[in-house]
Every structure is written in structure tokens, then in C-alpha cells.
A and B are shown apart, each in its own frame.
Chain A
Amino acid sequence: EAGVAQSPRYKIIEKRQSVAFWCNPISGHATLYWYQQILGQGPKLLIQFQNNGVVDDSQLPKDRFSAERLKGVDSTLKIQPAKLEDSAMYLCASSRTGDDRRFGQGTRLTVV
């Protein structure tokens, strides 16, 4: 079974620029998650989708972050404008039942 695909693997941008990350979940996984992992910390959930719909976006900084999951498959996470404190690893995960969550390799974002 193919894993969760994410791109790009690395991104360096200047503050106030915008950036987008892409995620393709495992086939058949209805639930998709985006996590932010700051260096030295555990991942923190930003947003959770169930098919097309948002289940939980309570930790998403909505003034600058947005996410969409069109057609209930791929998802895009955008930051606009980026701040220095957004430097982190952004992890996408997908699951069928919740306990079978699988993570992608992540996108390492550096904001300078």
C-alpha cells in the first residue's frame, strides 16, 4: 500500500511570503489531518477533515492559515503571510478508523 505523500519536502521562504503544502492520503482513508511540529516538540493538530468536511480546526490560526480538501482526497495547507514562528515540520496523516493513522514524511518549512 502506498503511503501518505507530501510535497515539497523542504521549503525556505522569507517572512510575509506565502507558501502551500500538498498532501495525498492513502487510498480509502476518509480522514485527513494536518499537524504542525515545532522543533523539540510533539506534533500539534491544526485541522482534521472527514471526507470534504472540517471536523476540527480549533487550533488553526485562521488569520493566516487555510486548508482545503477538494473532492475528499488531496489536501492543501496554505500560510499567508508567513511569520518566523511558523518555521516547523508540517505533517499530513490519514486514517480509516482513527487508530490506523499513518503519517507522511512531512514538509520542513523555514521562514527567514
Chain B
Amino acid sequence: GNSVTQMEGPVTLSEEAFLTINCTYTATGYPSLFWYVQYPGEGLQLLLKATKADDKGSNKGFEATYRKETTSFHLEKGSVQVSDSAVYFCALSDQTGANNLFFGTGTRLTVIP
């Protein structure tokens, strides 16, 4: 079946620190992979995506590379800001007719000044 496993949180970092949030997946076929971000009290916003192996998604200084050999899609940012404090969700889309989206449990990031 399809599933996503995310690094347990919460994660607390100082401003300008390096961020890694681990994500691994199990899927049948060739899924698309996503990172969504949820700010307090808000819905989900798409942060970045990758649709095939070795693709790198990037946005707002965040990056993630689709690694088929390790079934991973780890999120990284070189220098976090206080405004990056949010919950981050890794997700996969199974690319079937229904195109279902399967989410991980989320990782809460807090960045302190």
C-alpha cells in the first residue's frame, strides 16, 4: 500500500540553523512527492513537489530530492528564519485515476531568534 513516514517532532532550531526533516515513503508504482506547510490556524500550502526520480523540488529556500533508491524525500533548508515556524507534511500522490494524496503525520518546526 501507500504510506509516508516522517521524522518525529517537534523540532526546535535557532535562526540561521540548517534544517533537515526526514521523509520516507512506501508506494506502488511511481508516485509524485510533495511537501506541504501549515501555519498556525491555516490550511495547507504546497511548498514544493517532485514528480519523478532524481527531480529536485525547491521553493523559498527549501529543497527536497526524490530518491527512488532510498525511497526518500527529505526536506532541507540552509538557513531557517522565525517565519518558517510551522508544521510540515510530506505527502505522496499515487498517480491512479483518483490521484489520492497520502500524508505523513507532520513535523512541527519552531525557530527561535
Residues of A within 8 A of B (CB): 4, 6, 31, 33, 40-45, 48, 55-56, 91, 93, 95, 98-99, 101-106, 108
Contacts and interface: CB of A to CB of B under 8 A. Distances in A.
Given A40-B106, A42-B89, A98 B99 contact: yes
Contacts of A44: 103
Given A42-B106, A99-B49, A101-B101, 5 more contacts: A55-B97, A55-B98, A98-B93, A103-B43, A106-B43
- Interface of A, secondary structure class, is strand
Interface string B81-113: 000000001010100011111011110000000
The 5 closest A-B pairs by CB, nearest first: A42-B103, A98-B99, A103-B43, A103-B44, A105-B43
A48 B98 contact: yes
